[in-house]
């Protein structure tokens, strides 16, 4: 039927088809829904004019089943199918790709004749990029500032993994270790030995760290682990006359027989017998004689040496006015002058004491 320049076709007295300027309209059985096919001279258009309507492309497979090929939803995007199963869909953040035979996202990459060469997929919590050509290489590239594609990483399952810089190979894995750009081979044993040597030369032991901290604070602790009557102490404090506290292996104070200040960084401690223990050295000493500081004891007590290199308090004390107390038996081999008034002299002839007044 010709109506106002258009041709209309009907089915059961209901319009089903209509020509229009630039295309045709196709109606549903109620003559309400319209699928418009048109061409503007530059662009072709297929339009479903029903609100929230979809566009579906379907086909019949080799077993006479109608399967979906594509579905277009104006609110949800485009979905493409493979053998009736969803394989590709546009989403708000990009696209989703999945294996039509499973649930994992899957992307096949083919060559110009349609053969699959690589795939990208996710399995469980792992992401894979895989070459499916036997013996094929996997290249990761990026263009340089001149627009030339340069290798970044090249991998071959039967050979090596290579790392590149500016398109030049710098690093290659090998059966025994790695190969560097200059052809130098580094084996696993080399790496282990070199790493051990590096740690030995670069890392400090706990004792070395302690020594460094103490030295920076003007202090040093010497540990004498081997019995010796002569301890050489390299304190490196940069001062010749320093304060010294010496203790044995039980941390009991001992007095050395002699201390020689060799130079600003070294001294020698000498004992009457072999000793082990520690020597604490601090800056602030003065003078040129030997000696050692002793730990705190009883106020005013006279210290004594007990024959085992240990210092102990005695019962004798001297107060700040030089008064002596606490003496029990007193053995005298010479003369005693008391307060510059009385002189007590031992008379060997009579084997008695003579008291003479002086002054």
Q: What stretch of H or E contains 303?
A: strand 301-305
- In the predicted model, what is the mean pLDDT of residues 245-257? 90
Q: Report the largest interatomic distance among the alpha carbons of the chain, rounded to a whole angstrom.
A: 172
What proportion of the chain, given as a percentage, has pLDDT over 70?
72
Provide the pLDDT confidence category of residue 276 given band limits of 50, 70 and 90.
Answer: very high
Output the six-digit token pair for 214: 């103490």
pLDDT in tens, 25-53: 888 776 666 777 777 667 777 777 677 77
Tally Cβ neighbours within 10 Å of residue 28.
12
Cα 220 to Cα 278: distance, rounded to the nearest angstrom: 10
Residue 269: what pLDDT? 95
Cα 312 to Cα 297: distance, rounded to the nearest angstrom: 8
How many residues in the chain? 359
Any residues with CB less than 8 A from the CB of 198 and at least 6 apart, and which?
none
DSSP letters, 125-138, are TEEEEEE-STT-EE
Q: Is the pLDDT of residue 1 over 80?
A: no
Q: What stretch of H or E contains 238?
A: none
The pTM of this model reads 0.35
Residue 266: what pLDDT? 92
Mean pLDDT of the chain: 77
- In the predicted model, what is the mean pLDDT of residues 40-68? 78
Provide the pLDDT confidence category of residue 203 given band limits of 50, 70 and 90.
Answer: low
**Which of 198-207, 263-272, 325-334 has the lowest average pLDDT?**
198-207
Phi, psi of 272 (to 5 degrees): -75, -15
pLDDT in tens, 89-114: 887 767 777 766 665 656 777 777 76
Residue 287: what pLDDT? 42
Cα 81 to Cα 203: distance, rounded to the nearest angstrom: 62
């Amino acid at each position: 039927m010709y109506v106002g320049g258009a041709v209309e076709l009907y089915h059961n007295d209901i319009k089903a088809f209509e020509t229009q300027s630039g295309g045709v309209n196709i109606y549903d059985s109620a003559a309400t829904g319209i699928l418009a096919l048109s061409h503007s001279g530059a662009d072709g258009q297929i339009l479903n004019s029903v609100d929230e309507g979809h566009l579906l492309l379907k086909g019949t497979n080799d077993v006479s089943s109608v399967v979906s090929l594509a579905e277009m939803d104006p609110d949800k995007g485009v979905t493409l199918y493979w053998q009736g199963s969803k394989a590709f869909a546009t989403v708000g953040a990009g696209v989703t790709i999945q294996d039509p035979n499973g649930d994992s996202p899957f992307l096949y990459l083919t060559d110009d004749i349609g053969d699959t060469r690589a795939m990208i997929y996710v399995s469980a919590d792992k992401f894979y990029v895989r070459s499916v050509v036997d013996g094929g290489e996997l290249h990761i590239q990026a263009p340089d500032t001149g627009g030339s594609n340069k290798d970044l990483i090249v991998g071959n399952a039967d050979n090596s993994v290579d790392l590149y810089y500016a398109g030049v190979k710098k690093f290659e894995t090998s059966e025994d270790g790695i190969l560097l750009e200059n052809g130098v081979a580094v084996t696993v044993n080399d790496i282990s030995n070199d790493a051990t040597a590096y740690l030995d030369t670069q890392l400090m032991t706990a004792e070395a760290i302690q020594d460094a901290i103490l030295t920076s604070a003007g202090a040093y602790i010497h540990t004498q682990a081997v019995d010796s009557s002569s301890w050489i102490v390299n304190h490196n404090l940069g001062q010749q006359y320093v304060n010294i506290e010496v203790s044995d292996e039980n941390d009991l104070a001992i007095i050395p027989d002699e201390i020689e200040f060799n130079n600003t960084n070294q001294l020698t401690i000498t004992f009457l017998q072999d000793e082990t223990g520690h020597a604490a050295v601090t800056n602030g000493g003065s003078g040129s004689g030997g000696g050692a500081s002793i730990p705190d004891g009883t106020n005013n007590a006279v210290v004594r040496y007990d024959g085992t290199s240990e210092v102990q308090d005695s019962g004798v004390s001297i107060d700040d006015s030089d008064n002596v107390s606490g003496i029990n038996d007193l053995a005298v081999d010479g003369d005693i002058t008391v307060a510059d008034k009385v002189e007590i002299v031992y008379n060997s002839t009579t084997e008695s004491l003579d008291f003479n007044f002086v002054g």
